[in-house]
């Protein structure tokens, strides 16, 4: 990893044109050093042994041979200090939540502008997490370690905590209602109340809150 102001990164994506294009654009930034590219997780594993360890890896989700979920989980086990920023073509909660549970610190849409990519890399390097519009400023302050949000879980009811844990699964809200033996309307109320209480805007934000406050342990 780098010891100066330069951030070492790697790009793992099976689309060659996208990978090369991103490499070309990021190469124009003096504070970013691209140490390697890989087409999938298995190639990434090989190149981790041959190149300097990156600070941040831009990780595609859907790839052949070894996908982003498996690659991120492997990094968490073998290189826990490497930050993973998931690259996604969609805003669906399920793959983002799964990437977070496997060790990613955030996600970015592939259609994002290059300035947003650079910002995400910088925030990931400095703070470890980047979730753009999915979390509020208050949530981000908690993630960055000032502790203002840490004790808020003590204000949650048992049912709210159960709902949070189940939200970290792949269950739909209707399935969560069945599991908790509550009506879908009641579950909708829990969700909205937690959004307001925790100043969170999405299910992904709820999952990250649960992970950071050890309500759910990946």
Question: pTM for the complete prediction?
Answer: 0.66
Tokens, residue 3: 């010891």
Per-residue b or e along 159-197, where b marks 16 or more CB atoms closer than 10 Å to that residue's CB: ebebbbebbbeeeeeeebbeeeebeeeebeebbeebbee
pLDDT-derived band at 67, boundaries 50, 70, 90: very high
Q: What distance in Å separates the CA atoms of residue 26 and residue 28, rounded to the nearest whole number?
A: 5
What pLDDT is stored for residue 26 in this prediction? Answer: 94
Angle at 97 between CA 96 and CA 98, to 5 degrees: 90
Q: Is the dihedral of CA 10, 217, 97, 114 positive or negative?
A: negative
Which part of the chain is CATH 1.10.10.10?
150-212
Residues of the chain with CATH 3.40.50.2300: 7-134
Tokens of 96: 């983002």
* DSSP state letter for 54: P
Q: Helices (DSSP H) in the chain: which residue ranges?
A: 16-26, 41-48, 68-78, 93-101, 114-127, 137-143, 158-167, 173-180, 184-198, 203-212
The fold adopted by the segment(s) 150-212 is Arc Repressor Mutant, subunit A (1.10.10)
CA-based nearest residue to 18, from 42, 44, 34, 37: 37
Quote the CA–CA distance of 117 and 58 in Å, as a whole number: 9
Rg (CA), the chain: 18
> How many C-beta neighbours within 10 Å does residue 218 have?
12
The pLDDT value given to residue 111: 85
CATH number among 3.30.70.260, 1.10.8.60, 3.30.1490.20, 3.40.50.2300, domain 7-134: 3.40.50.2300
Give the model confidence (pLDDT) of 111-162 as tens digits.
888 999 999 999 889 888 776 654 444 444 444 444 444 445 547 888 888 9
Q: For residue 150, give both structure tokens.
A: 């840490």
Q: Are 82 and 75 in contact (CB under 8 A)?
A: yes
Tens of pLDDT, residues 186-210: 999 989 988 888 888 788 888 878 8
How many helices and strands in the chain, by DSSP H and E? 10, 5
**Contact in structure between 100 and 55 (CB atoms under 8 Å):** no
Q: What is the pLDDT of residues 4-42, one digit of tens each?
A: 689 999 999 999 999 999 999 999 999 999 999 999 999
């Amino acid at each position: 990893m780098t010891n100066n102001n330069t951030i070492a990164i790697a790009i793992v994506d099976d689309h060659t044109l996208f990978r090369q294009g991103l490499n070309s654009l990021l190469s124009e930034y003096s504070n970013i050093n691209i140490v390697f590219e890989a087409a999938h997780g298995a190639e990434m594993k090989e190149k981790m042994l041959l190149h300097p360890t990156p600070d941040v890896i831009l990780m595609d989700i859907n790839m052949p041979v070894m996908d982003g979920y498996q690659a991120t989980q492997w990094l968490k086990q073998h290189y826990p200090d490497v930050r993973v920023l998931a690259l996604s073509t969609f805003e669906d909660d399920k793959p983002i939540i799964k990437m977070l549970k496997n060790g990613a610190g955030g996600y970015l849409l592939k259609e994002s502008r290059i300035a947003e990519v650079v910002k995400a890399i910088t925030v990931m390097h400095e703070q470890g997490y980047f979730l753009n519009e999915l979390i509020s400023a208050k949530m981000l302050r908690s993630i960055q370690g000032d502790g203002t949000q840490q004790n808020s879980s003590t204000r949650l009811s048992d049912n709210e905590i159960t709902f949070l844990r189940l939200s970290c699964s792949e269950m739909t809200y209707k399935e969560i209602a069945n599991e908790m033996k509550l009506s879908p309307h009641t579950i909708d109320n829990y969700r909205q109340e937690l959004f307001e209480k925790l100043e969170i805007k999405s299910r992904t934000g709820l999952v990250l809150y649960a992970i950071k406050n050890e309500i759910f342990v990946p």
